[in-house]
Structure 1
Amino acid sequence: MHTLIAAHPLAALSPLEVHKLYKLRVDIFVHEQRCPYAEIDDVDADPDTVHLLAWDVAGRQLLGTARVFPDGARLRLGRVCVTPSARGTGLSGQLVEAATGLAEGRDVVLDAQVPLVAFYRGFGFEPVGDVFDDEGIPHQPMLRVAASEA
């Protein structure tokens, strides 16, 4: 399967792409994980928010997504999800790498579901602060410090 990861603000996406983005996130976070929080929020439409969309090039199917946006001087990564059919293929890692590639010398923060802490450690993130509950799912704040330039 050949995938392409595209990065765009919401305003640059077609109506069909926006629909696919939100449908995937609702399918994963609301239905699969049973988190009834407001999945669509104002951060999505902020012009500084970048949505990463991982497409199956042949079938034009959206396989995964993530979003990044400024959080003070840092970049915040969130809403990382992959369709069940694409899990175990390394696509989540590709999304994280693409997202951290947008950091441009900034630290990156995220709130990882506790079972995924080791996964994010593999990309240079380290736990910071205390575990907290978000809609019944324990989350660990994590930080990836920007690489120092020699």
Structure 2
Amino acid sequence: MDPTFVAGDRLSAADVYAVWQVRDLVFAVEQRCDEPDVDGLDLLAGTTHGWFADDAGLSSYLRTFVATDGIRRIGRVCTRRDARGRGLSGRLITAVHDRWGDDELRLGAQAYLEQWYAGFGYTRCGDPYVEAGIDHVPMRRPGTS
């Protein structure tokens, strides 16, 4: 099964609801993030949402977009608790690499996931920081071209 990818300006109302539902479950409920999730990027044409879904809704999700500095960012990577351990997030990261891996990619990893992202070729590229009350590290993966 391949992941679904949809541009932000092509999301249906049901898609938006499903995206925000899985992000709310993981980030707000489980991780108790202390900042709003909705940041004005989700519905932009240059934002792409990727996910796997099952009968219970989106099971794993991420978002990618090109930032104002011209570098593609990956974020909001999450998997529903009951769908963890199946490698879904890794498959989403790999699918992003398949689509955009010729270019440099960056992300802000939750600090405890630094080694997991390192397994995909990401290295720390700055000082640790706190976002939404959670320790993060900036990471980059050079392009393959």
**Partner residue in 2 for 1:85:** 82
1:46 to 32, 44, 60: 44
* Aligned CA-pair RMSD: 1.4
CA 1:144/1:104 → structure 2, altered by over 3 Å: closer, same or farther? closer
Aligned length: 144
Deviations 1:35-62 (A, max 9, x none): 0311112111111000002112xx2621
Q: Cα offset for 1:109?
A: 0.2
**Partner residue in 2 for 1:15:** 13
CA 1:38/1:44 → structure 2, altered by over 3 Å: closer, same or farther? same
Partner Cα distance (2:96, 2:35) in 1: 23
Q: Cα offset for 1:18?
A: 1.2
Stretches of structure 1 lacking an aligned partner (at least 5 in a row): none
Stretches of structure 2 lacking an aligned partner (at least 5 in a row): none
Contact 1:110 1:143 in 2 (8 A): yes
Q: Cα offset for 1:104?
A: 5.2
Normalising by structure 2, what TM-score?
A: 0.92
Normalising by structure 1, what TM-score?
A: 0.90
**Partner residue in 2 for 1:67:** 63
Q: Cα offset for 1:114?
A: 0.6
Q: Work out the percentage of aligned pairs sharing the same amino acid.
A: 33
2:53 to 52, 55, 60: 55
